[in-house]
Amino acid sequence: MKQEVNEKIDTETVRFVTTKEAMKIMCCSRPAASRAIHLTNERLKKQGCYVMRGRCNRQAFFETLGYR
């Protein structure tokens, strides 16, 4: 059974997803959330973007998950 994602974060001001937040969005363990962020950052790095370990761009994160 798939759960609804109830995001109470203002996406206009918060531009990055952290591991803790990714765990809530994906309803998964910390390693799985970290892997999703890592994959997103690898994709962004190939595009020439600057990335930070442990957090990633919100829009790119949802694109990686297939939400947008």
Q: What is the pLDDT of residues 8-45, one digit of tens each?
A: 556 556 789 999 999 999 999 999 999 999 999 999 99
pTM over 0.75: yes
Q: Quick check: 1 pLDDT over 90? A: no
Residue 67 pLDDT class (50, 70, 90 cuts): confident
Q: Quick check: 6 pLDDT over 80? A: no
**H-assigned helices in 1-68:** 19-26, 30-46, 58-65
Residues 27 and 48: beta-carbon distance below 8 Å = no
Q: What is the pLDDT of residues 35-57, one digit of tens each?
A: 999 999 999 999 999 999 999 99
Q: Collapsing DSSP states into helix, strand and coil, what is residue 52?
A: strand
